[in-house]
Amino acid sequence: MRDKRYDVLFEPMAIGPVTAKNRFYQVPHCNGGGYRDPSAAAAMRGVKAEGGWGVIFTEQTEMHHTSEITPFIELRLWEDQDIPGLRRMSERMKSHGGLAGIQLAYSGVNGPNLYTKEVPLAVSAQPIRTFTNDPVQARALDKSDIRDLRRWFVNAANRSKRAGFDLICLYGAHGFGIFQHFLSRATNHRTDEYGGSLENRSRFVREVIADIRDAVGDTMGITLRVSLDESIGDLGFSNAEVRDFVEMNRDLPDLWDLAQGTWEACSGPSRFKEEAAQEALVQGIHDLTDKPIVGVGRFTSPDVMARMVRSGTLDFIGCARPSIADPFLPKKIEEGRIEDIRECIGCNICITGDMTMSISRCTQNPTFMEEWRKGWHPERMNAKGDSGKVLVVGAGPAGLEATRALADRGYDVALAEAGRVLGGRVARERLLPGLAAWGRVVDYRAYQISQKPNVESYFDSALDATSILEFGFENVCIATGASWRRDGVSRQHVVPFATDPGMPLFTPDDLMDGGAPAGHVVIYDDDHYYMGGVMAELLVQKGCTVTLVTPAAYVSEWTLNTLEQHEIHRRLARMGVTIVLNRGVTAIAGDHVETNCMFSDTRSPIGCDAVLLVSSRLENNGVYTALKARAADWADAGIKSVKLIGDANAPGPIAWATYAGHRYARELDMPDIGDALPFRREITALAAD
Ligand SMILES: Cc1cc2nc3c(=O)[nH]c(=O)nc-3n(C[C@H](O)[C@H](O)[C@H](O)COP(=O)(O)O)c2cc1C
Ligand code: SF4
């Protein structure tokens, strides 16, 4: 039963001519699949419909071929041929009474047009502003281009209607989308009636909304997504100007969709942003308009959501990541199952699917983007197979997810953990600076497991091959994790290199175990994800002087894909960490490290008192190897299968581990598919030759 406190979240509300059944609003988010994987993306939205979202949006949809953001894989609505794929998506979105929305994007100065080879058109002539600094410049729209662009928006709106959508979102936030480019003085240098005053800079969006309203406004709601604060210096579209803009155009769209300035700030990771971090920026805007407002802020707590609506700050609770981590969030609140919510941990792994043009993953929800490819459902497991019992060895993220999902399938599971707490690496890493929210990976699974009568957990149970054979479980899943290497082997050094035993050497595991280097510590980061930067913060907190040396061109380079890199660098620099880029470490002497330039190999020493090696990790697969060596004894012991999963198999980010655990649980007792592809995919249909 739903708690009365949350009733306000389930009140219907009109958005122009259409009505949302509740206040749960899945704001646009990409998924790395887009036009390449249309059925996978449609099925993912369909699961959200089932999970109770009142409004479900696509990701940004390129609405005209003269503006596209290759290599990123989003949706396209360039011509009628694109309609059937999008219709499939809108049908899935509407399958449980939700509204289907499409976000139309004309990227202007953000679209390098690498695929269509068209000359980019922007509000003013400028170099293209992309993640990759493409060596391309945009031409300024002239008056006839503006007329064309208005017509293209109307064409796209008509196609959206034919594709079955109820809502159109005009994209002008995150620095992306031509509407923001008109509004911001950083990208609008025009001297005609579209530039200069705020009134003039608002002209284009007013015209487009009027055009679209004439075309489809009787049946479709029109929303406008604008940045709450562009935060790019004096010329940026500031929060004060946003307020003036809304007041000046009170009733312009059917709904205001307000999202913080840059994408990095809007999708800020939990390392740097709390839940509801945009509250101050959006507070009070409601007084300036009669139209409803949706806002975002990694909302996972129903109390915070209800407060947002009751206080009149927001009308709709916008969620991207929380809806990825738990597509059934609204339904769980409605059914009074708050403790079952799988809360987003704010790690931004979901964004890496888009940034790497692969397909998205989610640390908390391993079924994300596998709904169609593998037929995985976030709340339902496949039927149980023939065997009855499973022993899971290791209660890290892989072992915990395997246990939870196996128990859901109906297996009797024994979970054996060598230590005294659940969580493995996550139990340790959640104590590091900024990573507390990552503990939700453990908390969600520990609670779910505690509710299952068919799971027994054993602590202080470091099992060896002999005891596993004696137990005689039918299936054994080894998830014993990994440990940081002490020899510096990673990418620069593929074999161990010279180290003087006189220099105190540490690994991240040592620090997590309470090890305390003192004085000047050199961190040699050849891992390139978050750990090097987090360790630097930890050491500064402990009073050390820190120099971080990395062969990469960026500190914590891979976090460019999680949108964290700039904030990490800024934070470390402000903390006084000396950051040495493009240099490796060739040797560790008794009182210094010898560094080398990655391009010229020029050597130079850095004196220090201790070295922290953030290199790579070694699989803890000893039990598995010993069991394999005794494979001849398995049948007598009643063992049908032994499988190695997660970091113990091949170390990776936590999302890789939860995926491995989930996959193990799904595939146990399933028929061997031999050499067949283990997922469905779509192949571009060949046109006539
Ligand atoms: C994986 C991912 C992809 C996104 N893609 C888009 C997009 O295509 N269009 C858009 O307007 N915002 C996009 N966003 C931003 C979200 O809509 C949202 O504003 C932001 O993530 C903050 O909301 P949250 O805290 O609920 O995640 C994306 C966010 C994520 C996490
Ligand atoms: S990948 Fe991380 S940030 Fe993204 S939805 Fe999942 S838990 Fe949240």
Q: Would you list the DSSP string of 177-204?
A: SHHHHHH-TTT----STTSSSHHHHTHH
Ligand 2 centroid vs 365 CA: distance in angstroms? 8
Instruction: Report the pLDDT value the prediction gives residue 233, as an integer from 0 to 100.
Output: 85
The atom of ligand 1 lying closest to the CA of 348 is 31
Best mutation site among 271, 349, 351, 441 for ligand 2, i.e. most ligand atoms within 8 A of its Cβ?
A: 349
Ligand 1 centroid vs 267 CA: distance in angstroms? 6
Q: Is the CB of 346 under 6 A from ligand 2?
A: yes
Sequence-distant (≥ 6) Cβ neighbours of residue 467 within 8 angstroms: none
**Cα 411 to Cα 402, 453, 506, distances in angstroms:** 11, 11, 41
Ligand 1 centroid vs 351 CA: distance in angstroms? 9
Residue 248 corresponds to which tokens in the numbers above? 């000046």
Q: 592 forms bridges with which residues in the sheet?
A: 607
> Which ligand sits nearest to residue 267's alpha carbon?
1
Q: Is the CB of 170 under 6 A from ligand 1?
A: no
Best mutation site among 344, 351, 361, 654 for ligand 2, i.e. most ligand atoms within 8 A of its Cβ?
A: 344
Instruction: Report the pLDDT value the prediction gives residue 261, as an integer from 0 to 100.
Output: 87
Instruction: Report the pLDDT value the prediction gives residue 472, as an integer from 0 to 100.
Output: 85
Instruction: Report the pLDDT value the prediction gives residue 348, as an integer from 0 to 100.
Output: 98
Residue 127 corresponds to which tokens in the numbers above? 């170099």
* Averaged pLDDT, groups of 10, the chain, 689 residues long: 96 98 98 96 98 98 97 97 97 98 98 97 96 94 98 98 98 96 97 98 98 98 96 90 97 97 95 96 97 98 98 98 98 98 98 96 98 98 96 98 98 98 98 98 98 97 96 96 97 96 98 97 98 98 98 98 98 98 98 98 98 98 98 96 98 98 98 97 89
Instruction: Report the pLDDT value the prediction gives residue 689, as an integer from 0 to 100.
Output: 87
Q: Is the CB of 321 under 6 A from ligand 2?
A: yes
Ligand 2 centroid vs 403 CA: distance in angstroms? 21
Instruction: Report the pLDDT value the prediction gives residue 296, as an integer from 0 to 100.
Output: 98
Instruction: Report the pLDDT value the prediction gives residue 684, as an integer from 0 to 100.
Output: 83
> Which ligand sits nearest to residue 260's alpha carbon?
1
Q: Is the CB of 27 under 6 A from ligand 1?
A: yes
Instruction: Report the pLDDT value the prediction gives residue 513, as an integer from 0 to 100.
Output: 97
Q: 610 forms bridges with which residues in the sheet?
A: 521
Ligand 2 centroid vs 309 CA: distance in angstroms? 24
CA atoms within a 13 Å half-sphere pointing along the CA-CB vector of 394: 32
Q: Which of 284, 409, 260, 436 is nearest to 347 (CA)?
A: 436
Residue with CA closest to ligand 2 atom 5: 321
Ligand 1 centroid vs 410 CA: distance in angstroms? 36
Q: 122 forms bridges with which residues in the sheet?
A: 140
Residue 278 corresponds to which tokens in the numbers above? 């945009």
Q: 522 forms bridges with which residues in the sheet?
A: 547, 611
Residue with CA closest to ligand 1 atom 22: 267
Ligand 1 centroid vs 656 CA: distance in angstroms? 22
Ligand 1 centroid vs 87 CA: distance in angstroms? 22
Q: Is the CB of 271 under 6 A from ligand 2?
A: no
Using an 8 Å Cβ cutoff, are 225 and 177 in contact? yes
CB atoms within 10 A of CB 385: 15
Ligand 2 centroid vs 68 CA: distance in angstroms? 26
Q: Is the CB of 275 under 6 A from ligand 1?
A: no
DSSP 488-501: --SSS-SS---B-T
